[in-house]
Amino acid sequence: MPLAIKTILPILLTTAFAVGLLFLLQFSGKLGFVISDNNYLTKQFNYQILLLPIIAISILTTYLLNKQNFKTYFSFGHISAVGQELKLFGIKQGDTWTKTGLSLCVVISLITAIFLYFQLKQTNPNWASLQSGIFWIVLFSLTNSFGEEMIFRLSIVSPLSGQLAPTTIFFISAVLFGIPHFAGMPNGIIGVTMAGILGFVLAKSMYETNGFFWAWTIHFLQDFLIIGALYLMNE
């Protein structure tokens, strides 16, 4: 396969998957499954059901594009691998991803939590209702974060490693991940920017650790906070 096609095809496929996710959001309310009186949980359940085949197709195409790289990146990877400097996130040359990953879990989650707190403050949420919804919140956070890591990280990092410079790969993942979040939570330019920055650092983590452990873990925490907040807003 010519180099140009090897480079462009993963980007086109990921773009197609991203567009597919936006359509899923429109149709998720029409699938018909009802799991709760909370409309958000029911809509999210239907969305996650529809998401499964897209995740499967994304993983399959990523494998076919570069089988050797896929075997490297489709794993938890080297959790304590040494990363490259990234001053924007306070990552120093020689820092391990154990240190960096734990720090990012705390810092990024704190930023997300502060933003969501001010959103929730306007709705006077019933915090006690979390007890009845926590199972679904955790489950959807796990499945959604895993799926998006397969679609927006693995499908870019795996086939493009060795084809493009690492920073270029991270930037492509960031852009493709950021744009669909224009309709996310948070939405608009703020949502795109926050998701894009997150996408960049998660792609960096996958590339440098040869796996998705830190990308999935950090992403899961953000989804847990966001899905939990949206659940409360719809009580």
Q: What is the mean pLDDT of the chain?
A: 90
Task: Look at residue 4 in the predicted model and tell me its pLDDT.
Answer: 66
Per domain, the residue ranges of the chain are 3-233
Given the structure tokens 């075997």, which residue do they identify?
A: 71
Q: Which residues contact 95 (CB under 8 A, 6 or more apart)?
A: 82, 83
Q: What proportion of the chain, given as a percentage, has pLDDT over 70? A: 94
pLDDT band for 27, please (50, 70, 90 cuts): confident
pLDDT digits (tens, 9 = 90+) for 193-203: 888 999 999 99
In whole angstroms, give the CA distance from residue 213 to residue 103.
15
The answer to whether the beta carbons of residues 13 and 61 sit under 8 Å apart is: yes
pLDDT band for 122, please (50, 70, 90 cuts): confident
Please tell me the pTM assigned to this model. 0.92
For residue 35, pLDDT over 90 is answered with no
Max Cα distance, the chain (Å): 57
For residue 137, pLDDT over 70 is answered with yes
pLDDT digits (tens, 9 = 90+) for 46-68: 999 999 999 999 999 999 999 99
pLDDT band for 128, please (50, 70, 90 cuts): confident
Cis amide bond preceding 186, omega within 30: yes
What DSSP state is assigned to residue 163? T
Let me know how long the chain is. Answer: 235
Sign of CA dihedral 152, 157, 160, 163: positive
Give the Cβ contact number of residue 6 at 10 Å: 16
Three-state DSSP state, 184: coil
Average of pLDDT values for 204-212? 97
For residue 152, pLDDT over 90 is answered with yes
For residue 3, pLDDT over 60 is answered with no
Q: CA distances (Å), 52 to each of 48, 49, 91, in order?
A: 6, 6, 34
In whole angstroms, give the CA distance from residue 29 to residue 195.
24
Task: Look at residue 149 in the predicted model and tell me its pLDDT.
Answer: 97
pLDDT band for 91, please (50, 70, 90 cuts): confident
Give the Cβ contact number of residue 19 at 10 Å: 12
In whole angstroms, give the CA distance from residue 153 to residue 146.
10
Max mean pLDDT among 86-95, 127-136, 174-183 falls in 127-136
